[in-house]
Amino acid sequence: MPNTLNDAIQQRYACHEFAEGKPVSTDELDWVLEAGRLAPSAFGLEPWRFIVVTDAAGRAAVAQACYGQPAATTAAALVVIVALVAALEPDSNYVRARFTAEARGQDAEPIYSAYRSLYRAESMAEWAQGQCNFAAAQMLLQAAHMGLGSCPIGGYDASALATAVGLPAGEVPALVIALGRCGYAAPERIRKPLV
């Protein structure tokens, strides 16, 4: 297991095919989810929830919604990150609870004021989906830190994915993370130079 965050960053890559018959343990999933839970978010809203899919039928349905991509069809576990769009209305109970927590016993009105300036109902789905990427990044790094293979999947039929995981109105898929034991050795890293 890597010892530093930079080691995990260096080790992480998108695994496109996972080894068959090698499950991800409940403990490993818990660690990955905890990394997502602790992610930063604007206004402290944490506008996400995570749906873990490990059963064969559920994985097949999610994989089909992901256009049958090999990472989705071979993953031992899939985490669907869901953006809580409807909950983000400024006067919702969800927003009130998050801002009360974020104010830490102080006046929450400055947070509300800044948020009301940002809030536009027609663009909140995209904003919330973007926030979900913070959680996804931390989950991907945690997986790498533990020696798990992972692949972020942004290509999917949103309606089919919402149906596959039973999303209610007001929640939209943001990203799928495929997890498992990669079926091949890590390829050479190809990245453009910093400058």
Tokens 């402290």 locate to: 44
Q: What pLDDT sits at residue 4?
A: 79
Separation CA 72–CA 59 (nearest Å)? 8
Q: What pLDDT sits at residue 7?
A: 86
On whether the pTM is more than 0.85, the answer is: yes
Q: Which fold has domain 5-180?
A: NADH Oxidase (3.40.109)
What are the extents of the domains in the chain?
5-180
Sign, CA torsion 111/116/121/126: negative
Q: What pLDDT sits at residue 2?
A: 54
- Helix runs in 54-180, H state only: 56-65, 70-74, 93-103, 109-118, 124-145, 158-165
Separation CA 121–CA 172 (nearest Å)? 14
Separation CA 29–CA 81 (nearest Å)? 14
Residue type, 171: E
3-state secondary structure of 163: helix
Report residues of the chain scoring pLDDT below 70.
1-3
Assigned token pair, 86: 């409807």
37, containing H or E segment: helix 26-37
Q: What pLDDT sits at residue 1?
A: 56
* Burial bucket for residue 85 (CB in 10 Å: 0-12, 13-18, 19+): buried
